[in-house]
Amino acid sequence: MIGLQILQRQRAVGLDLAKRYLDVPVANVSDCMARMSAGGAHLRPMHGGGRMAGPALTVKTRPGDNLMIHKALQLARPGDVIVVDAGGDLTNALIGEIMVGDAVRRELGGFVIHGAIRDAGAIRAGAFPVFAAGVTHRGPYKDGPGEINVPVALNGMVIEPGDLMIGDDDGLLCVPYAEAEALLAAALQKQEVEAQMVAEIANGTYRAPWIDETLRRLNCPVQE
């Protein structure tokens, strides 16, 4: 039944590949995806810091209800990132310290909550990745409905079950399952280029000819 169902995930990015993304800034991956995908700037890291990378176990729930999130915790495998589409509503918190503790025990990869959390101090004091849209002390309901392992969308960023979810201090990004290998290679190459730029800035040899080239192409007058 649409709106109340628990499905099996048909495929998932491997943990070995996911872990290689922990060495790559989200911004570099985003640049290699033409800067066209994002979960929104309001989805921020709520934990003490550190990168996240793991296959998505998706949850779609009505705002303010966490029944299916509890079930997702039972179904999740080590390394999974539980991605919750709760419509971005901040009225009720969907997870807190207890559920995060359970996720840590199960060796999951993180939480992404398109909604609110609580127990923010305890979560901020820990390293377990939690990304959310806000904080409130008001607790959740546990009545459903909801769905597990269905496509979800966070501000237009579509996440299919098993896609790769990555996150760092700059925010979140979904890497489609079929593109994960190729995008990692492209992001690592971009990282090398940027490392060279940083080194050139440090030693005073950095040049950016593209700036004047672009201005000339735009026929922009430049007074000498």
- Dihedral-angle region of residue 160 (phi above 0 means left; psi in -120 to 50 means alpha; beta otherwise): beta
User: Among 104, 154, 150, 159, which residue's Cα sits nearest to residue 130?
Assistant: 104
Q: Are strands 152-154 and 157-159 parallel, antiparallel or unpaired?
A: antiparallel
Q: Which amino acid is at 63?
A: P
d(CA 28, CA 166): 12
SS3 167: strand
Q: Is 98 annotated as a binding residue?
A: yes
Q: Which amino acid is at 207?
A: R
Q: Is 194 annotated as a binding residue?
A: no
Distances (CA, A) of 132 to 7, 129, 152: 24, 10, 15
Handedness of CA 76, 132, 3, 149 (dihedral sign): negative
Q: Are 32 and 175 in contact (CB under 8 A)?
A: no
Q: Is 148 annotated as a binding residue?
A: no
Q: Is 101 annotated as a binding residue?
A: no
SS3 18: helix
Q: Are 42 and 116 in contact (CB under 8 A)?
A: no
Annotated binding site: 96-99, 118-119
Could you list the residues known to form a binding site for substrate, using ranges: 96-99, 118
Binding-site sequence positions for Mg(2+): 119
